[in-house]
């Protein structure tokens, strides 16, 4: 569902980028929305990426609207897994050289659990190779004021993100989708929704 993808990517973008400089995250489990997860904060600090507003993070560029080729930075924006497995991915440049930030999301419909990956790395032409990706999950919690809580899953994800010859994005991570590659394609509707969220002040 589009709404689920908005929640996943929107929360990831806001949490990892606008709250990265906030203090107070002292454990792997927090109430979602109250403070950034410590793992995402540490990953952001390690890469020395500039603090970015939620609007900047969620405002999609034109991305791959038909062209094939070029650097992966020509493909900034939101993508959706092509077979309906529920994965979405947002590619953004940090504005610092070849540094890039990728956030991905997946919703487990059965448990109503949202999984978020925060990836910081450098690009090499048409690909991103990364280590130390941080995965968190947002789970229902009736005891929390927000109705959910955020938990660290792991912080050692390893994989690649590449441009295929047809302009699609190929994401391969040993801990995602049983290690099998995912193919994601440009999602204009999702990009438009994220752009609208940014313009209405979701940051």
Structure confidence by residue, pLDDT tens digits, 117-132 = 999 998 887 889 999 9
Residue 99 confidence class, pLDDT cut points 50, 70, 90: confident
Q: Which residues are CB-contacts of 70 (< 8 A; sequence separation ≥ 6)?
A: 126
Question: What mean pLDDT, rounded, does the chain reach?
Answer: 72
Coil, helix or strand for 161?
strand
Is pLDDT of 203 > 90?
no
Is pLDDT of 182 > 90?
yes
Nearest to 152, CA basis, from 168, 130, 134, 164: 134
Q: Which residues are CB-contacts of 87 (< 8 A; sequence separation ≥ 6)?
A: 80, 81, 104, 105, 106, 171, 176, 177, 182, 184
Give the pair of three-digit tokens for residue 15.
């949490």
pTM, entire model: 0.69
Phi, psi (rounded to 5 degrees) for 126: -105, 20
Query: Stretch 56-83: mean pLDDT, rounded?
Result: 64
Neighbouring CB atoms inside 10 A of 50's CB total: 11
């Amino acid at each position: 569902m589009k709404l689920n993808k908005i929640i996943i990517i929107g929360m990831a973008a806001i949490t990892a980028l606008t709250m990265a400089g906030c203090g107070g995250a002292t454990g792997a489990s927090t109430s979602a929305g109250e403070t950034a997860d410590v793992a995402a904060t540490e990953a952001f600090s390690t890469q020395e990426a500039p603090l970015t507003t939620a609007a900047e993070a969620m405002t999609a560029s034109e991305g791959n609207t038909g062209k094939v080729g070029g650097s992966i930075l020509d493909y900034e924006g939101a993508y959706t897994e092509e077979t309906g497995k529920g994965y979405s991915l947002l590619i953004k440049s940090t504005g610092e050289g070849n540094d890039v930030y990728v956030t991905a999301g997946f919703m487990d419909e059965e448990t109503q659990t949202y999984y978020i990956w925060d990836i910081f790395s450098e690009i090499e032409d048409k690909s991103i190779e990364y280590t130390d990706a941080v995965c968190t999950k947002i789970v229902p919690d009736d005891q929390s004021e927000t109705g959910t809580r955020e938990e660290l899953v792991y912080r050692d994800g390893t994989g690649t993100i590449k441009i295929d010859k047809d302009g699609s994005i190929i994401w391969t991570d040993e801990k995602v989708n049983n290690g099998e590659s995912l193919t994601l394609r440009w999602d204009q509707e999702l990009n438009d929704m994220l752009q609208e969220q940014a313009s209405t002040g979701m940051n």
